[in-house]
């Protein structure tokens, strides 16, 4: 499992695909009741959950969790 954080885009992606090679087919937006962030589930053609994307991650997730994720946008920022 690989989890990445793009602080510039304020997005986190949690890759749950493991060794699954099924292509992504469908994205389902989860109703969170928040206008500040969005959660999207990626499903394969076989119906397997491949990943979870969080847009507005700085609001949705604890800063201490964000610091544990692999940054893909550049050097770490102080939080």
| Cα–Cα distance measured from residue 66 to residue 62, given in angstroms and rounded to the nearest whole number | 7
Can you name the residues that pair with 23 across neighbouring β-strands?
Answer: none
| Cα–Cα distance measured from residue 62 to residue 39, given in angstroms and rounded to the nearest whole number | 15
State phi, psi for 31 to the nearest 5 degrees: -75, 105
Give SS3 for 36.
coil
pLDDT at residue 21, rounded to an integer: 82
Mind listing the pLDDT tens digit for each residue in 40-74?
999 998 899 999 999 999 999 999 999 999 999 97
State phi, psi for 14 to the nearest 5 degrees: -110, 110
Domain ranges in the chain are 2-71
- This prediction has a pTM of 0.85
5 and 66 Cβ atoms separated by less than 8 Å: yes
């Amino acid at each position: 499992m690989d989890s990445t954080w793009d602080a510039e885009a304020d997005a986190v992606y949690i890759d749950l695909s493991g060794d699954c090679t099924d292509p992504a087919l469908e994205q389902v937006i989860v109703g969170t009741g928040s206008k500040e962030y969005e959660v999207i589930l990626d499903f394969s053609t076989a119906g397997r959950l491949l990943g979870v994307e969080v847009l507005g991650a700085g609001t949705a997730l604890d800063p201490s969790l964000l610091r544990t994720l692999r940054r893909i946008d550049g050097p770490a920022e102080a939080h």
